[in-house]
Amino acid sequence: MTDERYEGLAISASALTKSYGSLDAVKGIDLQIGRGEVFALLGPNGAGKTTTVEILEGYRNRDAGEVRVLGFDPADGDRRMKARIGIVLQSTGIDPYLTVAESVDMYSGYYPNPRPVDEVIDLVGLTTKRDTRVIKLSGGQQRRLDVGIALAGDAELLFLD
| Residues found in the chain | 161
| pLDDT tens, residue by residue, 101-135 | 999 999 999 998 999 999 999 999 999 999 999 99
Fold of 4-80: Rossmann fold (3.40.50)
pLDDT at 6: 67
Rounded to 10 degrees, the C-alpha dihedral 14/15/18/23 comes to: 150
pLDDT at 89: 85
Give me the residue spans of the domains in the chain: 4-80, 100-160
pLDDT at 1: 47
pLDDT at 50: 92
Max distance between CA atoms of the chain, in angstroms, equals 51
Residue among 66, 76, 50, 23 nearest 159 (CA):
50
User: pTM value?
Assistant: 0.86
Low-confidence ranges of the chain (pLDDT < 50): 1
149 close to 107: Cβ distance less than 8 angstroms: yes
pLDDT at 4: 61
